[in-house]
Chains A and B, each alone.
Chain A
Amino acid sequence: MGDKPIWEQIGSSFVQHYYQLFDTDRTHLGSIYIDASCLTWEGQQCQGKAAIVEKLSSLPFQKIQHSITSQDHQPTPDSCILSMVVGQLKADEDPIIGFHQIFLLKNINDAWVCTNDMFRLALHNFS
């Protein structure tokens, strides 16, 4: 049985760490972003660690729990790691809703940071 590829190990660790931080104390997410990071949250763009943490800290719920259905990881041509997560979340007393999130991770000075983050709820226009 082969070892898991490194990008899968790093991607999985990151994803676990991210949602654990998000669900327990999202003000601590700052450590995973840098000043060059971009976040697109439900179509709204935020640039840089400070703006991102402000956006995430100001989301209007008290408690949240994420449940991961699937995660996929790939290496990119520029030695970054691309991670895609599909899952469900429950905020406060709202019904469970599906979500989709992607992360691009880059190794800077031996730490893997998130340079790109996109989040969307799984809501569709019924055509």
Chain B
Amino acid sequence: MAETPMWEQVGTSFVQLYYQRFDTSRVELSALYTDASCLSWEGQQFQGKTAIMEKLMSLPFQKIQHSITSQDHQPTPDNCILSMVVGQLKVDNDPVMGFHQLFILKNISDNWVCTNDIFRLALYNFA
């Protein structure tokens, strides 16, 4: 049986760590970003670890739980890892909602950090 490719191992570990921290201690997400990281949160852009953490820490809920439906990982031409997550989340007493998120991971000094992060709720305009 073939081994899981490296990018899948790294991507899967990152995704698990990210949502575990997000759901239990968001402040610890800081270690996953750098000063060059970009976050797009529901269309709003944030540049750099400080601005990103300010946004994530100010999100208006007490508790949150993410549930991952699917995750896909690919290596990029520049030796980064691209990860796409589809899942559901529950915030406080709100109904469960779908979400989509993607990450680009880059190896800097032997650590995999997130340089790009895009998050969207699965809300559609009903055409």
Contact = CB atoms under 8 A, between A and B. Distances in A.
Interface of A: 36, 38, 40, 43, 45, 67, 69-70, 72, 74-78, 80, 82, 84, 86-88, 96, 98, 100, 102, 104, 106, 115-116, 118, 120, 122-125, 127
29 contacts: A36-B77, A38-B75, A40-B72, A43-B72, A67-B127, A69-B123, A72-B120, A74-B40, A76-B116, A78-B76, A80-B76, A82-B102, A82-B118, A84-B118, A86-B120, A86-B124, A87-B124, A88-B127, A96-B127, A100-B122, A102-B102, A116-B74, A116-B76, A116-B82, A118-B84, A120-B70, A120-B84, A123-B69, A127-B67
B122 to A, nearest CB: 5
Contacts, number: 100
Given A78-B80, A86-B122, A122-B98, 14 more contacts: A38-B75, A43-B72, A69-B125, A70-B120, A72-B118, A74-B45, A80-B76, A98-B124, A100-B84, A100-B122, A104-B82, A116-B76, A122-B86, A127-B67
Contacts of A75: 38
A125 B69 contact: yes
Nearest to B120: A86
Contact of A84 (B78, B98, B102): B102
A82 to B, nearest CB: 5
B104 interface: yes
Interface string B29-67: 000000010101001010000000000000000000001
Contact of B80 (A70, A76, A122): A76
Task: Give chain B's interface secondary structure class.
Answer: strand
A77 B115 contact: yes
B35 to A, nearest CB: 11
Nearest to B117: A74
Nearest to B77: A115
Contact of B36 (A77, A116, A124): A77
A41 to B, nearest CB: 9
Interface centre among B40, B86, B120, B124 (most CB of A within 10 A): B124
